[in-house]
């Protein structure tokens, strides 16, 4: 059985990040979860100075990526992940409050796996995250290869 992917939550709203973690854990996910508060922080984790592809070799990640982020926005983070040979296979799930058709289209053109609009209503939001957790349990994620 492959190892459960590490979930990288890239979300500047602390309340949303805590809710994601709580609901995913309540849904039965035991995956390790790392939280990044801005786009630059997750890029530093993946590509930062001193970080080599070998540091990530054999690991699997699923990225839950907000679009509206400080420092580097989610669309640029998505572009950098999908243009990298080691990371392009990572499932990237875009999370946003907007339903702008152009933005949805741009994210899909850049290679996002799924684009989810965050419901404004608390109950619908928690239910959406719970279902997302169930979806993540079914994902087969290829490990990162060191080159």
All domains in the chain, ordered by first residue: 6-66+74-129 (3.40.50.2300)
31 in Cβ contact with 6 (< 8 Å): yes
67 in Cβ contact with 94 (< 8 Å): yes
Give residue 65's region: left, alpha or beta (phi > 0; psi -120 to 50).
beta
Q: Render pLDDT for 40-81 as a digit per residue (tens, 0 to 9).
A: 999 999 988 666 656 787 888 999 999 999 999 999 999 999
Distances (CA, A) of 59 to 24, 55, 62, 69: 20, 9, 10, 25
Round to whole Å and give the CA distance between 147 and 114.
27
If pLDDT is split at 50, 70 and 90, which confidence band does 146 have? low
Buried residues in 77-102 as b, exposed as e (16+ CB within 10 A): bbbbbbeeebbebbbbbbbbeeeeee
134's tokens: 């169930």
If pLDDT is split at 50, 70 and 90, which confidence band does 147 have? low
Single pTM value for the model: 0.89
Burial of 52 (0-12, 13-18, 19+ CB in 10 A): exposed
Residue from 56, 57, 58, 77 nearest 68 by CA:
77
Higher pLDDT, 48 or 32: 32
If pLDDT is split at 50, 70 and 90, which confidence band does 83 have? very high
If pLDDT is split at 50, 70 and 90, which confidence band does 1 have? low
Q: Render pLDDT for 108-122 as a digit per residue (tens, 0 to 9).
A: 999 999 888 877 788
Q: Which DSSP string corresponds to 10-54? A: E-S-HHHHHHHHHHHHHTT----EEEESSHHHHHHHHH-TT--HH
């Amino acid at each position: 059985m492959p190892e459960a992917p590490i979930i990288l939550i890239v979300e500047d709203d602390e309340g949303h990040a805590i809710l994601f973690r709580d609901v995913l854990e309540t849904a039965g996910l035991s995956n390790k979860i790392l939280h990044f508060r801005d786009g630059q922080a997750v890029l530093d984790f993946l590509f930062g100075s001193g970080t080599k592809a070998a540091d990530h070799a054999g690991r699997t990640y699923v990225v839950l990526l907000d679009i509206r982020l400080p420092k580097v926005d989610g669309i640029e983070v998505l572009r950098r992940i999908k243009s990298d040979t080691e990371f392009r296979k990572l499932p990237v799930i875009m999370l946003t409050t907007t339903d702008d058709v152009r933005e949805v289209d741009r994210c899909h053109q850049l290679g996002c796996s799924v684009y989810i609009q965050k419901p404004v209503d608390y109950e619908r939001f928690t239910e959406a995250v719970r279902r997302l957790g169930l979806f993540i349990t079914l994902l087969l994620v290829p490990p990162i290869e060191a080159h």
